[in-house]
């Protein structure tokens, strides 16, 4: 094999061991810093030549001795544009950046949130350090937090880092590399201090904005582990628990759906906890005021651990409970 990466051109010669492999798979195995999806796009765009002739078939079977040339165009300018938005950076290097996200910050531009997003902020913050993930200079967000969930989020700067981190998040910790923990304030009392909610999740058939627990045999597999760390009971009888949660899977709204399904929705969750308005009235006035100021679900991504995709170092970060959630907890002065 010969590989020349100068001037954004990769040149390779296929050896006997790779005979019969698909072109896109072969290139993915030989060029580690470009994702297979990106390489497939380059093939379809005519940027990959076999013995001097463009080959637009990702499934083309390679033969021994053929010369392959891959032209990697300069990354296109970032879209959307960068915006000067303050970020709380927990860690940063040439490959990735770890952000402690505040509540209210949307990850990606979308209808209704075209500007003022985490992507806009990262494009401005990282500048020329961003490489062409998927052919565009942009940050690679490999996992998301809901708009109103605060806490730790890791973002790739390079295609190689994006691939490595994505693989870890797809494994959801089954390979021992990824660790994610959340802090939550929920309504009610758990009969067991530790346990798990194992219930498939699908989009609600009655409200497309919501997810819901699905019947057996439907939806996507989802497991949430919980441990009750503290409990509070008001004089009027309202009960609140502080939980530490770990995800075994990563579904949309998973924690919020699972806790609501077992009768313990998050405080402040207007979508999945609206049935607990009567419980709010049983809180002491200081707690009611703190809950009004919270203006979101009481959920915080407190621990994030992963293997660095470039040097395989074990990375671990911890973020303390934010002030708005702590104000609610501190106002519940009667411990159970």
Catalytic residues, by residue number, are 146
Burial class (CB in 10 A: 0-12, 13-18, 19+), 203: middle
| Close Cβ partners of 56 (under 8 Å, ≥ 6 residues apart) | 43, 44, 45, 46, 48
CA trace torsion 5, 11, 12, 13 (10° rounding): -140
Give the residue from 123, 114, 119, 125 showing the smallest Cα distance to 86.
125
Q: 3-state class of 26 per DSSP? A: helix
Whether the ω angle into residue 80 lies within 30 degrees of 0, i.e. cis, is: yes
CA trace torsion 241, 246, 248, 250 (10° rounding): 90
Helix, strand, coil shares of the chain, percent, nearest 5, are 25, 30, 45
Could you give the CA distance from residue 165 to residue 310 in angstroms, rounded to a whole number?
Answer: 10
Burial class (CB in 10 A: 0-12, 13-18, 19+), 131: buried
| Close Cβ partners of 292 (under 8 Å, ≥ 6 residues apart) | none
| Close Cβ partners of 58 (under 8 Å, ≥ 6 residues apart) | 22, 23, 24, 40, 43, 44
**Structure-block tokens of residue 172:** 């959801």
- Specify whether the CB–CB gap between 154 and 236 falls below 8 A: no
């Amino acid at each position: 094999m010969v590989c020349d990466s100068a001037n954004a051109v990769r040149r390779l010669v296929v050896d006997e061991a790779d005979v019969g492999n698909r072109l896109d798979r072969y290139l993915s195995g030989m060029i580690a810093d470009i994702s297979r999806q990106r390489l497939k796009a380059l093939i379809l765009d005519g940027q990959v030549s076999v013995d001097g002739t463009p080959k637009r078939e990702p499934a083309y079977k390679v033969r021994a001795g053929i010369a392959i040339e891959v032209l990697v165009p300069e990354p296109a300018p970032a879209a959307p544009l960068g915006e000067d938005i303050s970020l709380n950076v927990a860690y940063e290097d040439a490959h990735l950046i770890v952000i402690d996200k505040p509540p209210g910050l949307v990850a990606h531009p979308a209808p209704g949130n075209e500007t003022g997003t985490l992507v806009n902020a990262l494009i401005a913050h990282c500048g020329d350090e961003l490489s062409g993930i998927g052919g565009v200079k942009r940050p690679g967000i490999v996992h998301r937090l809901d708009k109103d969930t605060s806490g730790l989020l890791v973002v790739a700067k390079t295609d190689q880092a994006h691939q490595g981190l994505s693989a870890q998040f797809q494994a959801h910790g089954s390979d021992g590399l990824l660790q994610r923990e959340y802090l939550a304030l929920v309504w009610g009392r758990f009969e067991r201090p530790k346990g798990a909610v194992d219930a498939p999740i699908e989009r609600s058939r009655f409200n497309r904005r919501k997810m819901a627990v699905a019947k057996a045999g439907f939806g996507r597999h989802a497991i949430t582990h919980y441990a009750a760390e503290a409990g509070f009971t008001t004089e009027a009888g309202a009960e609140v628990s502080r939980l530490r949660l770990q995800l075994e899977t990563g579904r949309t709204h998973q924690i919020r759906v699972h806790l609501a399904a077992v009768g313990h929705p998050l405080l402040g969750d207007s979508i999945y906890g609206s049935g607990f308005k009567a419980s709010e009235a049983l809180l002491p006035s200081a707690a009611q005021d703190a809950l009004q100021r919270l203006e979101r679900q009481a959920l915080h991504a407190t621990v994030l651990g992963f293997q660095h995709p470039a040097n395989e170092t074990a990375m671990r970060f911890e973020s303390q409970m934010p002030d708005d959630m702590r104000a609610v907890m501190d106002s519940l002065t009667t411990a159970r």
